[in-house]
Amino acid sequence: MSMSQEVLLDVKDLKVHFSIPSGKLFKKPGLLKAVDGVSFQVKAGETLGVVGESGCGKSTLGRAVLRLLKPTDGQVAWFGQEMGGMKPEELRNVRSDLQVIFQDPLASLDPRMTIGQIIGEPLITHYPKLSKAEVKEKVKAMMAKVGLLPEQVNRYPHEFSGGQCQRIGIARAMILEPKLIVCDEAVSALDVSIQAQIVNLLMGLQKEFGLSLIFISHNLSIVRHISHRIMVLYLGRMMEVADRDAIYAKPLHPYTKALISAVPIPDPEIERNKEHVALKGDLPSPLNPPSGCVFRTRCPFAKDICAAEVPALKSFAGGREAACHFIEE
């Protein structure tokens, strides 16, 4: 799919830090650096995949981009305008262009509302002059686009399966015809066969509406299928970002190599003979991250410099970037 070069979202040095009470008298609260200096862009019609283990800051990043969380530092610009400096009315106008699909389909839907009310709520909020008949017509049209039956409009969320509830969530996100949707682990709670249907639905809607997506997931097979570019996070920091094909063909960062080597290959012969990169140990606590390179405690190539210096994000051919002291080697 050809993409416009227009930059919709420009994130620079984004930080989201949380103060965590120590629970002890006279002891200072801890500082949890959930997102710690992440920069990236999303262009029109593009899907940026965001991957990493649980606890790496993926969901926090998505919420900070949407201003559902207030960033500690950094800039988030929408069409060149910094969102942090927007007045409430300006931010409200931007909200219709930025939507989110949550991980748990049923928990994200109000059980007391019919699905017609759930999908139509954003329309009533942003376009209060629309008549009830116009809202209902738009809701039914969007239901048909996401694979729901328009005659189900007066049913309640508990009457639907998990996959159908996620279609309701997608319809709610799509009803305002946004320019960017953050998909926060949008398929991880679903069966594998349903995951494929939802991913294909998102790709179809992207093609029809010219959508941009930030697709957050820990499933690298799905991310590879849907994304144009992929960003790898570890303990709130960016390890690598590259074009989808480049990052799978030749990952530069040791963490990316380990993640990709864990993805099973359907061919048993190739799967048996491929190089497996095992990660040692567990993810360190984000309250007490390692000094220097945050990945060094699990990295097979770590040396003294890794503990002393934070590796800068270096640029490589093909527009890819990676943060490691030893990539040239």
Residue with tokens 């799919």: 1
Q: What is the pLDDT of residue 263?
A: 76
Count of helices and strands (H, E) across the chain: 11, 12
- b/e for 58-90, b at 16 or more Cβ within 10 A? bbbbbbbbbbebebbebebbbeeeebeeeeeee
Taking the chain (329 residues) in runs of 10, the rounded mean pLDDT of each run is: 75 94 78 94 96 92 93 95 89 91 89 95 93 96 96 95 94 96 90 91 96 94 93 96 92 92 74 72 87 93 93 90 83
Beta bridge partners of 40: 11
Q: Is the pTM of this model over 0.85?
A: yes
pLDDT in tens, 280-320: 888 898 888 999 999 999 998 899 999 999 999 999 988 89
Q: What is the pLDDT of residue 319?
A: 84
DSSP-based three-state secondary structure for 269: helix
pLDDT in tens, 202-242: 999 999 999 999 999 988 889 999 999 999 999 999 999 99
Q: What is the pLDDT of residue 270?
A: 67
Rounded Cα distance between 109 and 113, Å, is 8
Hey, what domains does the chain have and what are their CATH numbers?
7-97+178-272 (3.40.50.300), 114-176 (no CATH)
For residue 3, what are the CA distances in angstroms to 10, 45, 212? 16, 6, 10
The amino acid that residue 285 corresponds to is S
Report whether 174 contacts 123 (CB < 8 A): no
